[in-house]
Amino acid sequence: MADDSHRPPVGVNLHDVASVSSFVAEDAPVRARSAVRYGAAAYSVDVDESDGSEYASVADDDTRAWADGTAEDSEEDVYSDLFEEAMAASISTRSERGRRGKRWSRAPSRGLRCAALSAVSLVVAVAFTVRGSVWDRASNDLGMYTAPATTWVSKRSHETPGARPGGFKLRNRSSKWRVSPFATSKANLGFSPLGLYRMLTNGRPASFWDPTKIKTKDGHLPAEFDVREKWSECADVVDTVLDQGECGSCWAVAPAKVMSDRLCIATNGTVKQQVSALQLLACETTLHGAFVQSSKNGCEGGFPSEAYEKAFDHGLTSGGMFGDTNSCMPYEFQPCEHPCEPLRQAHCPETCANGGDIKPTYHVTSIFNCPTNDYDCIALELWNNGPMSSYVGDVYDEFYDYESGVYSTSKDPERRGKSHGGHVMEIIGWGVDENGRTYWKMYNSWLNWGENGFGKIAVGELSIGEDAEAATLAPVSNE
């Protein structure tokens, strides 16, 4: 009598994968005699070469069963058993598939989801292509704002062969920085509907920014504001414009002006001394606190954040205009008729111009920024604490020719001219022109720009608000 220990028992469920693997390994001599498929089920009749007995297997995807036969059984009997097993397995599997199908019947098909994604991608691509022209035409037709080219007055054109203001766009901000307490969540729109709308319309919703909707402790912000009017005791300090001369030093001059103006405001007008832009531009500080020549040529440009960080780390000494002998480190370069080529290199002096020792006179207690394009934050900072500096992006030939009115970058490349790189300026307030368009009140480090360095730039133009920064200061000693 043949040994049946290695033969599979009737009705073994092959869900038990471990037992199936074990059986196959032990019965390597088994070979298939015939195989039949019925619908989704498959079964085969096999023979055990050790004793000549037959047995059959039935499989339907996830469900498998064994049927047993012998040499004495007729082939019809074996197939009959197999058909019964196969049909049972097939019916069970179809039922399971039906249940799975019902769960997915309510969800969109894969084809529909792919079509929807393709449609959205197409809309985004088309919007980016036509965003400028379509928006401008629609806005003009609806009277939303007047075409920018007619809202400002230009001087005669200049030759600008190698002018470079000197401002670099910030890439990473160090841990020394803090976000302004007036920051709002409106600037961090991400991929929300309004965020995508602003992205697709190239920032045009900034044209609808309304400061009168911003709440304060006493109500709302006014439609027009100027730090010189609120803190009139410091108006003469704010109106003092340091011309950067033949040096790409806007990245140091604008932060120095902001800190000088805020120092006056914080002390209620008792301290009206300018802090030194030259120190930020040309000096480094040793471990012992001594000021030495910087290894970089600051006239080739820099990051305004670095100027604030230098002040935060080492404090500031007094500064002044070119030729001033009453301060420690007055500015080294005389004004020029901008555009000027940055042909100079700044030098850190070894002694004070006023005869004293070079030492920090003012302490920077904090440096902070507003989130990108958070206009509410900028306005509240101006309203509560004073001016801020901002990277304004690349400026073009026409920017040097600005004389008055509300500046907007021309859409015509020929009128706009070539780019001269990034620039940094000071924001001192805001207002609304006769066409209802809101603008920033700005001070530039070029005395021949606008009205003695003062001008107006439409909200949403250039990159004003991309990196808006400021600091708080306090005197550490009396000179």
* pLDDT exceeds 90 at position 271: yes
Is 13 annotated in the active site?
no
Are 138 and 161 members of one domain? no
Q: DSSP state, 475? A: E
Is position 5 within any domain?
no
Q: 257, 301, 306: which is closest to 423 by C-alpha?
A: 301
Are 205 and 136 members of one domain? no
Q: DSSP state, 318? A: B
Is position 1 within any domain?
no
Largest separation between any pair of C-alpha atoms in the chain: 122
* Integer Cα distance of 431 and 222 in angstroms: 9
What is the number of other CB atoms lying within 10 angstroms of the CB of residue 345?
Answer: 14
Is position 7 within any domain?
no
Are 269 and 233 a contacting pair, CB within 8 Å?
Answer: yes
DSSP element (H, E) containing 141: helix 110-142
Are 84 and 137 members of one domain? no
Question: Which of the residues 369, 373, 444, 448 is marked catalytic?
Answer: 444
Question: Which of the residues 250, 283, 328, 348 is marked catalytic?
Answer: 250
What is the number of other CB atoms lying within 10 angstroms of the CB of residue 412?
Answer: 10
Of 136 and 431, more confident: 431
Are 79 and 133 members of one domain? no
pLDDT of residue 244: 94
Mind listing the pLDDT tens digit for each residue in 323-380? 899 999 999 999 998 888 877 889 999 899 988 888 889 999 999 999 999 999 999 9
CA atoms within 13 Å, Cβ hemisphere of 325: 1
Least confident piece of the model among 146-150, 294-298, 412-416:
146-150
* Integer Cα distance of 222 and 306 in angstroms: 33
Mind listing the pLDDT tens digit for each residue in 433-451? 988 899 999 999 999 999 9
Are 193 and 341 members of one domain? yes
Tokens of 235: 């108006």
152-154 and 402-407 strand pairing = antiparallel
Are 134 and 239 members of one domain? no
pLDDT of residue 77: 53
Is position 328 within any domain?
yes
Is position 382 within any domain?
yes
* Integer Cα distance of 144 and 147 in angstroms: 10
Are 62 and 125 members of one domain? no
Is position 8 within any domain?
no
Are 91 and 126 members of one domain? no
Average pLDDT on 169-178 reads 80
319-320 and 329-330 strand pairing = parallel
Are 450 and 471 members of one domain? yes
Is 250 annotated in the active site?
yes
Residue 171: pLDDT band (50, 70, 90) is low
Are 165 and 215 members of one domain? yes
Query: Residue 219: beta bridge partners?
Result: 216
pLDDT of residue 168: 64
**How many structural domains are present in the chain?**
3
Which one of 101, 134, 165 terminates a domain? Answer: 101
Tokens of 389: 């500096």
Are 175 and 247 members of one domain? yes
Are 139 and 75 members of one domain? no
Is 234 annotated in the active site?
no
Is position 432 within any domain?
yes
CA distances from 126 to 114, 189, 192, 197, 283 (A): 18, 22, 19, 13, 50
Is position 108 within any domain?
no
Average pLDDT on 235-239 reads 96
CATH at 332: 3.90.70.10
Range of the domain at 57: 17-101
Which one of 67, 101, 135 terminates a domain? Answer: 101
